[in-house]
Amino acid sequence: MTAPGSSVNFPKIIIVGGGFGGIQLAKKLKNKEVQVLMLDRHNYHTFQPLLYQVATGGLEADSIAFPLRKIFKGQSNFSFRNAEVLSIAPEKNTILTTVGEFEYDYLVLATGSDTNFFGSKELEHYTMPMKTIPEALNLRSMILQNLEEALIEPDPTLLNFVVVGGGPTGVELSGAISELKRHVLKNDYPELNIDDVNIYLIEGSPAVLGPMSTQAQRSAKEFLLEMGVTVMTGVTVISYDGEIIKLSGGIEIFSKNVLWSAGVKGEFPEGISKEHLVRGGRIKVDTVNRIDGHNTIFAIGDVAAMITDETPNGHPGVAPVAMQQGKLLAKNLLRIINKEEPEPFKYFDKGSMATVGRNRAVVDIGKIRFQGVFAWFVWMFVHLMSLVGFRNKLVVFVNWMWSYFSYDRGTRLIIRPFNRESMTEDTAHK
């Protein structure tokens, strides 16, 4: 099968993945003399930074996702196929997908990252990851189902929440569960003793929000403690059997709610030789995001590790890196096609931020650091503006205003019950 629109004789660029990087790349190729085919297993772009709000009933799933076809409406050199890539055959310049084989002149892997359970089948089976919308919805259902169950039979494992991993996701998730507890559960479950609900945040390194400033780390921890979250740093997970989580230092917690946000790894189809992989399962790329030894295959964003003297572990796996690499790669592909020299990537770090709860966020912008109410407004503004689509911005804004004034999280519905036993690869993540 040839790529759609292949009657025109422009070079064919296949982009795998409609995340932050893939979208920027395809947008910048608008009206250029190339044919673009994007493949994604979802028909929508996911705004991952707000997944935790979907998981905790603050937002509808639909307001943080955006149809990929709509983003590229009217871009005549763009096609989309809703498909999963099975393997790459670099020797033939083709990829095999669930909807057939496609030829490319240039292939860009913008496939992002998946949850890293560091090889533990046990953790993979019993803990809840949160990298996709279906996963966030499963998490929401599980939390609510466990609360309903706690009313039928008193069982402390149902009311203890353990969040593993103190990065932005873990901090935001444990903060959101604390708000759910204090503002919603209290009213929704008058029969439960709200003091029986405990929230633990487990982090292996000495501080939460590892890559941020010491000031941000300290404030985030303080905010979490104020909100009733038990923060355990320098503590690692030894095992979890679905009911008891064993931690280093002889700590054991009874819990049926263990949320896993302790690590990610690069995710990509077969056909990339193992020799290109570095720490975290990312693919090593050169300064123009090209994979060594593959002249026509590139990787951008979370899945790529551009290892230089300044970035010995590659760039952080955040949206701005992916977006900047996507934009530059569009330029560079056109240069390469025109036999010009591509320009090396330079990351412009705009800063980082995390929110812990209502009126509580931390922001680092270069040497400028601030925390609290103003940081929270900045966080909201930046995230609102980054959402794709006016409708989404509006709906999220309405929801946030509503939550702000009512202390409510409106969407606490068990729309698809979560059932670990009946879950297959298919129903779990896709």
Angle at 272 between CA 267 and CA 277, to 5 degrees: 65
What is the nearest approach in angstroms of a second copy to the Cβ of residue 231?
A: 30
What is the nearest approach in angstroms of a second copy to the Cβ of residue 199?
A: 20
- Measuring CA to CA, which residue among 57, 51, 46, 47 is closest to residue 403? 57
Contact 135, 429 (CB under 8 A): yes
Shorter beta-carbon distance to a second copy: residue 194 or 395 = 395
Which residues, other chains included, contact 1 with Cβ-Cβ below 8 Å and sequence gap of 6+? 100, 101, 102
Told to check if 6 binds a second copy by CB under 8 A, we report: no
Binding mask 293-332 for a second copy (x = CB under 8 A): ----------------------------------------
Strands 229-233 and 237-240: unpaired
Told to check if 144 binds a second copy by CB under 8 A, we report: yes
Told to check if 425 binds a second copy by CB under 8 A, we report: no
Told to check if 99 binds a second copy by CB under 8 A, we report: yes
Q: Is 172 marked active-site?
A: yes
What is the nearest approach in angstroms of a second copy to the Cβ of residue 334?
A: 23
Shorter beta-carbon distance to a second copy: residue 263 or 410 = 410
Told to check if 257 binds a second copy by CB under 8 A, we report: no
- Rg of the chain taking only CA atoms, in angstroms: 22
3-state DSSP assignment of residue 418: coil
Shorter beta-carbon distance to a second copy: residue 4 or 263 = 4
Shorter beta-carbon distance to a second copy: residue 98 or 273 = 98
Strands 282-285 and 277-278: antiparallel
Shorter beta-carbon distance to a second copy: residue 80 or 240 = 80
Query: Which one of the spans 23-31, 108-116, 376-384, 420-428 is the region binding a second copy (CB under 8 A)?
Result: 420-428
What is the nearest approach in angstroms of a second copy to the Cβ of residue 430?
A: 6
Which structure tokens are listed for 156? 């402390």
- Half-sphere exposure of 151 toward its Cβ, with a 13 Å CA cutoff? 10
Among 42, 131, 282, 358, binds a second copy (CB under 8 A): 42
- Element containing residue 360 per DSSP (H, E): strand 360-365
Told to check if 414 binds a second copy by CB under 8 A, we report: yes
Among 8, 87, 92, 100, binds a second copy (CB under 8 A): 100
Cα gap 48→130, rounded to integer Å: 9
Told to check if 169 binds a second copy by CB under 8 A, we report: no
Among 48, 77, 79, 113, binds a second copy (CB under 8 A): 79
Which residues, other chains included, contact 329 with Cβ-Cβ below 8 Å and sequence gap of 6+? 25, 108, 288, 289, 298, 300
Which structure tokens are listed for 44? 């929508």
Give the sign of the dihedral formed by CA 218, CA 166, CA 228, CA 200: negative
- Catalytic option among 135, 172, 179, 203: 172
Query: Which one of the spans 209-217, 280-288, 353-361, 406-414 is the region binding a second copy (CB under 8 A)?
Result: 406-414
The 10 Å Cβ neighbour count of residue 195 is: 9
Among 156, 395, 400, 407, binds a second copy (CB under 8 A): 395
The 10 Å Cβ neighbour count of residue 349 is: 14
Cα gap 241→159, rounded to integer Å: 17
Q: Residues interacting with a second copy, by CB under 8 A?
A: 4-5, 42-44, 60-63, 65, 67, 69-70, 73-74, 76, 79, 81-82, 99-100, 133-134, 137, 144-145, 148, 151-152, 187-191, 389-392, 394-395, 398-399, 402, 406, 408, 410-417, 419, 422, 424, 426-427, 430
Q: Which residues are catalytic?
A: 172
